[in-house]
Structure 1
């Protein structure tokens, strides 16, 4: 019972209170950065010291199946987002890639390494490791994970971002549930995120343009 209560408080602090605090406009950016860093260090500490997680690449990963399913989803995403940008603001379509290719390369690298992997460590690896055993309904658990992932992007104060991150959360949670691999879900996350930046939807997600 004590474990359940502790994890409940932990869940509220890490996945609800911290993201909501990032939306408070009068809270200094330095305080927000400290909250974010403390939260991330806590997650890593729990994974290593409490959950005894070993950071390694499993040899039995089903790469062929992963690339096949990811490619199918990616084709759909490419089609939908390209049409969306074409209709809403045609001037943004591939703007950064064409006009600022060096910046595009730099942002893709930095985003994939410093943003995607930490997010997946928190929202998939940690989330699944800590709370999956407490929720027996797998579909509800995946739904909850997607909700928390979208809540983590609440500070953008953009309805479309919330919708996109919820949908992304569903895809990433499903991939992690199926593969149990932080590496694979990080690759998938990076592919979709970099594409949104590439196609011209980077502004709303905080990418420079």
Structure 2
């Protein structure tokens, strides 16, 4: 499972074949089954092949993380608020104002059951399995952003692909610097929750 050939096949199946297949019209239950089995495979490889312990590291640089995340969130908040205001003003903060309990529940479910699995696959798994294939760090991060965006191809929305590509770059840079699935998951959750809060959640699959 550590040979170059095996990893290349693994990369193709996990990051290209499966995401593209989700754009095809077949049973949602089969798609969910593929997601579950794929995630189980990723966890198995991380535990048994890459020898991860899934423990919270003691060396985490929380100060640097929050400093950088708050700056990035401020920029994202300003840009997205203006975007929603000028393109769909009625959706601006609609859910949090009208359905606060539903808003809280969705934020929790999204952060735990969507964000963390995504980061295990697209950052932890990707970095640990394929980093040795790339001598150029920038290219490695660029490819990570591409496959992360590709995973959202089933939305059939150009803006979503652009946003997830940019998000992929941010998350890959964070993981590259801090080497922490926990921290990059928190960052991912913060930005995703903000997009839902500001009124852009529907295009990203959040319940309206």
> TM over 0.5: same fold?
yes
- RMSD of aligned residue pairs (Cα, Å): 0.7
CA offsets 1:167-198 (integer angstroms, 9 cap, x no match): 00000000000000000000000000000000
Q: In structure 1, what is the Cα distance between the partners aligned to 2:17 and 2:39?
A: 14
Per the alignment, residue 148 of structure 1 pairs with: 147
Per the alignment, residue 34 of structure 1 pairs with: 33
Instruction: Count residues with an aligned counterpart.
Output: 207
Kindly indicate whether residue 21 of structure 2 is the aligned counterpart of residue 9 of structure 1.
no
Q: In structure 2, what is the Cα distance between the partners aligned to 1:148 and 1:78?
A: 25
Q: In structure 2, what is the Cα distance between the partners aligned to 1:63 and 1:95?
A: 32
Tell me which stretches of 4 or more aligned residues in structure 1 moved more than 3 Å: none
CA offsets 1:27-61 (integer angstroms, 9 cap, x no match): 11111111111111100000001111110111111
Gaps of 5+ in 2: none
Structure 1 position 113, deviation (Å): 0.3
Per the alignment, residue 93 of structure 2 pairs with: 94
Structure 1 position 133, deviation (Å): 1.1
Q: In structure 1, what is the Cα distance between the partners aligned to 2:44 and 2:60?
A: 26
CA offsets 1:109-142 (integer angstroms, 9 cap, x no match): 0000000000000000000000001111100000
SS of match in other structure, 2:125: helix
Gaps of 5+ in 1: none
Per the alignment, residue 193 of structure 2 pairs with: 194
- TM-score, normalised by the number of residues in structure 2: 0.98
Structure 1 residues 61-80: aligned runs within 5 Å: 61-80=60-79
SS of match in other structure, 1:24: coil
CA offsets 1:2-44 (integer angstroms, 9 cap, x no match): 811110000000000000111102x111111111111111000
Kindly indicate whether residue 129 of structure 2 is the aligned counterpart of residue 122 of structure 1.
no
Q: In structure 2, what is the Cα distance between the partners aligned to 1:199 and 1:81?
A: 7
Q: Which moved more, 1:185-194 or 1:27-36?
A: 27-36
Q: In structure 1, what is the Cα distance between the partners aligned to 2:133 and 2:21?
A: 26
Per the alignment, residue 47 of structure 1 pairs with: 46
Q: In structure 1, what is the Cα distance between the partners aligned to 2:57 and 2:201?
A: 33
